[in-house]
């Protein structure tokens, strides 16, 4: 199957999930997660019209993005170390994984001189798992407050999560619902316009769409198996 065929199949599955939930499929964007995939296939993804490219490592994006070109935005979806923040800021269009005040402060300090405003999502550890990246749900209002109050060069426009691993997508669904509720709560509390909900991967994106995902992050279902260990 070509990338374009895989994308068409995914779009029809998203449309069915939207029909079940009474949603408009045009409100669900697709981030093609190209980690481990060579630039040639990322070029196919861009040509096929995905909404964004997602990479989980800044250095991998740095190698591939110049080879891929095009106007499709690139999102960082993996953890961002402090020492990679400058490269990330220069290279990526949106960072989905702001998960601590220190990182927000760092991106703010780096972005301020250029006057650029970087769109960011906060990553939430919605299942409150040990060893998992993401801000805890209880700490997320404080992180939002920090970004809104202290970081004029960051624009908070969404929340992102990876729920606890479970091969049964039905068990991810309560976590997707929890992220949606958290987003609505943050919007009310801080008077924000609707936040994007980045949730759902190859195994569980339909459940995520039924729970309100506005961006799904899809790797294997679009590209096939990963090429090398991520
Ligand atoms: C790899 C990855 C994905 C995509 O995973 P698939 O199961 O291949 O769809 C989505 N989100 C994040 C954060 C990832 O690291």
Q: Each residue of 3-58: pLDDT tens digit?
A: 999 999 999 999 999 999 999 999 999 999 999 999 999 999 999 999 999 999 99
CATH of domain 3-223: 3.20.20.10
**Which of 9, 165, 200, 219 has the most ligand 1 atoms within 8 A of CB, as the residue to mutate?**
219
Quote the pTM value. Answer: 0.97
68 CB near ligand 1 (under 6 Å)? no
78 CB near ligand 1 (under 6 Å)? yes
Structure tokens given for 187: 């919007």
Question: Is residue 93 a contact partner of residue 68, using CB atoms and an 8 Å limit?
Answer: no
216 CB near ligand 1 (under 6 Å)? no
Distance from the alpha carbon of residue 115 to the mean position of ligand 1, in angstroms = 32
pLDDT recorded at residue 191: 98
Ligand 1 atom closest to residue 77's alpha carbon, by position in its atom list: 13
201 CB near ligand 1 (under 6 Å)? yes
Task: Identify the helix (H) or strand (E) that includes residue 218.
Answer: strand 215-218
Dist. CA 200–CA 211, nearest whole Å: 10
pLDDT recorded at residue 229: 58
Query: Would you list the domain boundaries of the chain?
Result: 3-223
**Which of 125, 132, 167, 201 has the most ligand 1 atoms within 8 A of CB, as the residue to mutate?**
201
Show the DSSP H helices in 36-172 as ranges: 39-48, 58-68, 85-91, 101-111, 140-150
User: Residue 228: pLDDT above 80?
Assistant: no
Question: Is residue 92 a contact partner of residue 121, using CB atoms and an 8 Å limit?
Answer: no
Give tens-digit pLDDT for 48-97.
999 999 999 999 999 999 999 999 999 999 999 999 999 999 999 999 99
Distance from the alpha carbon of residue 142 to the mean position of ligand 1, in angstroms = 27
**Which of 56, 98, 206 has the most ligand 1 atoms within 8 A of CB, as the residue to mutate?**
56
Q: Which of 90, 38, 92, 82 is nearest to 64 (CA)?
A: 38
Average pLDDT over residues 146-152: 98
């Amino acid at each position: 199957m070509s990338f374009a065929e895989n994308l068409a199949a995914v779009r029809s599955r998203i449309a069915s999930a939207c029909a079940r939930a009474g949603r408009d499929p045009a409100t669900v964007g697709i981030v093609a997660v190209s980690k481990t995939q060579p630039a040639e296939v990322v070029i196919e993804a861009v040509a096929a019209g995905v909404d964004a490219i997602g990479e989980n490592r800044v250095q991998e994006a740095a190698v591939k993005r110049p080879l891929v070109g095009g106007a499709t935005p690139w999102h960082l979806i993996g953890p961002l170390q402090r020492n990679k923040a400058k490269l990330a800021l220069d290279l990526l269009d949106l960072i989905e994984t702001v998960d601590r005040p220190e990182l927000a402060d760092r991106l703010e300090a780096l972005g301020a001189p250029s006057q650029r405003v970087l769109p960011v999502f906060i990553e939430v550890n919605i299942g409150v798992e040990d060893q998992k990246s993401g801000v805890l749900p209880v700490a997320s209002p404080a992180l939002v407050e920090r970004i809104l109050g202290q970081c004029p060069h960051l624009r908070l426009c969404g929340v992102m999560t990876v729920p606890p691993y479970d091969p049964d997508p039905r068990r991810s669904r309560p976590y997707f619902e929890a992220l949606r509720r958290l987003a609505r709560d943050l919007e009310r509390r801080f008077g924000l316009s609707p936040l994007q909900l980045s949730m759902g991967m190859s195994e569980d994106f339909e459940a995520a769409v039924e729970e309100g995902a506005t961006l799904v992050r899809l790797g294997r279902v679009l590209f096939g198996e990963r090429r090398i260990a991520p």
